[in-house]
Chains A and B, each alone.
Chain A
Amino acid sequence: MPRLDPESLHTHVDRLFRAAWALCGRREDAEDLVQETFARVLSRPRMLHGDDELAYLMRVLRNTYLTSRRTAARRPRTVPAPETEPEDPRSSDHAERALMAGELLAAIADLPEDLRLAVAAVDLLGLSYAQAGRVLDAREATIATRLFRARAQLAERLGDPRDSGREASSANRSLNQ
């Protein structure tokens, strides 16, 4: 049975981070979720059990997310410290793109959980429908209908770029610079 190669994990960090952000809805929580996912994966040697690496990571990401969400619900919230990040000096064009990316990630985070997980697995992480079905314990056809509904809601939420002159597809680039 193939073993997960720890050295190869860093190649998946970007996609995992986007999927985590979509699940959590907040960048800070996404960073925590990715760190905790890797901590779990790296805590001992892992067998892939028929998954490829990415599907395996999505399975751990999802389980870590569900566990942390349950834990957070039982825990009093920590009051954030008062100091905030400095003003972002990025250009207006960059800020516009970041805003679009932020809108898209926020829109995903507002989806019902089963739709959100389907989008994270297939459209953000790049799993096939069949892989997503195995990871999310759902039939492949169910994943397809969840994706259809999720994408329809996202398209509604983001609006038609031809109406506003904005390219939804430019919901891009880094929010992290």
Chain B
Amino acid sequence: MSDPANLTQMPESDDLQGDLAHLADGTLPQERAAQLRAQVQADPTLAVALERQERAVHALRTLDVPAPAPLRAELRAATTRRSRGPVFSFAPGAFGALGRLSAALAVGLAALLVALLPGGGSPSVAQAASFALRPSSLPAPRPVAGDATRLQATIDGVWFPSWNTIDWRAVGARRGTVKGRRLLAVRYTGRGWTIGYAVAAGQPLHASGGSLVRYDGSSLRVLALSGGTTAVTWLRSGHSCVIAAHAVPSGVLLRLAERDLR
């Protein structure tokens, strides 16, 4: 690496700096460019400065880091929904069949790409828990009109519960992808605690370790994660549900999860 002291050799004039920036990326008017090139040839300090500008411009403008396929698919689905109906409405049926088909195709293609690329595969339950605890980026979904037990938030047809009747309220939501898998999370607060509840689209996530709790014929797995995070995971309609929280007793999480199994 070059000596940082060389930076002191930069031309001091703002105008000259600006012209060198323009010259390096080809946006300096022709006449001024010819003048400045002659000046650069006669002045080693300017020559070094211009070489650095050109080197940086080349590196920056040939940088080829594409957006991840899942992000691209998510955005394509969002723009499709936008052109067909309300945006970021979680409710099923908010956009037309063609929109759903396009979104499904885009997400399916992304999933295929991710599966084929190195590092593809399913997120772990711990990663889904981490996603559930990330800050909300969407407003809290409201209860479904006429059904106080459900929120207007679904993924792959799996709905999120409304717990207003037990004083747990949805306060935000987040959609995203982890390792190519779409996830939807809703954040709830109640009794001074905050929890994140995530549902993963597609096949169930691989879950192991922790302890199993049986409830009404179903299994709930309780996992102690790092940093005092506890997660409970179970299957609903063939989809992995994960409730996670920091410093909240696992019994509280289990009682919330069990409500969904009733």
Contact = CB atoms under 8 A, between A and B. Distances in A.
Interface residues of B, number: 73
B14 A81 contact: no
User: Mostly helix, strand, loop or mixed at chain A's interface?
Assistant: helix
A128 B145 CA distance: 49
A157 B1 CA distance: 7
Interface residues of A, number: 71
Interface string A143-154: 011011111111
Contact of B66 (A17, A44, A141): A17
Nearest to A168: B59
Contacts, number: 211
User: Mostly helix, strand, loop or mixed at chain B's interface?
Assistant: helix
Contact of A14 (B1, B66, B74): B66
B62 interface: yes
A81 B66 contact: no
B21 A6 contact: no
Interface of B: 1-2, 4, 6-7, 10, 14-15, 17-22, 24-25, 27, 49, 51-53, 55-69, 71-72, 74-76, 78-83, 87-88, 117-119, 121, 124, 126-127, 129-130, 133-135, 137-138, 175-177, 179, 225-229, 246
Interface of A: 6-7, 9-10, 13-14, 16-18, 21, 31-32, 34-36, 38-39, 42-44, 71-72, 75, 78-83, 85-86, 88-90, 101, 104-105, 119, 122-124, 128-129, 141, 144-145, 147-161, 163, 168-169, 171-177
